[in-house]
Amino acid sequence: MKVLIVEDDAPLRVFMKDTVESQGFETFTAENGLQGLEKFKKVCPDLVFSDINMPKMNGLELLEEVRKINSNVIVVMVTAFDCEEYAIKAMALRANNYLKKPVLHNELLPLLKKYASLTQKPTESFERPEEVNKPTFSLSLYSVIFPVPVDS
């Protein structure tokens, strides 16, 4: 799974990157929304974590642009603000989840596992055309006729 982390707070960005990589996922980072949008276009991530309050392009603007490109990508908004207005806007733009800072391991890891299970690619045998065309079972049909008693 490819994960993009868009966060202007360097220590949090590094913490999130290290946590995501420790789970074996390919990780990309950006320090503002504009840089995040460019990375999104280049790497086509499966999951995006984005801060809301950032320079150059805020996270809500980024989310709106991301949805224009890929309406199915998983996006989790991250913010230090306990503002219901941000949460409502994020959900209206179809954010998949919303995390409040400080982000902790016990919040981040379950989200990674949940979304990784949703984005898993089919196994290799299903991706190979020669495997797809092989029959996987055979079916035989038999007709059986049962006499039905008729009342006189």
Question: Model confidence over 61-79: pLDDT tens digits?
Answer: 999 999 999 999 999 999 8
pTM: 0.77
Q: Is residue 15 part of a domain?
A: yes
Rounded to whole angstroms, the Cα distance separating 116 from 110 reads 10
Domain that holds residue 75: 2-121
Number of domains into which the chain is organized: 1
Q: What is the pLDDT of residues 125-136, one digit of tens each?
A: 334 344 433 333
Q: Is residue 133 part of a domain?
A: no
In this predicted structure, the answer to whether residue 147 has a pLDDT above a threshold of 60 is no
Q: Is residue 150 part of a domain?
A: no
Q: Is residue 146 part of a domain?
A: no
Q: What is the pLDDT of residues 14-58, one digit of tens each?
A: 999 999 999 999 999 999 999 999 999 999 999 999 999 999 999
Q: Is residue 141 part of a domain?
A: no
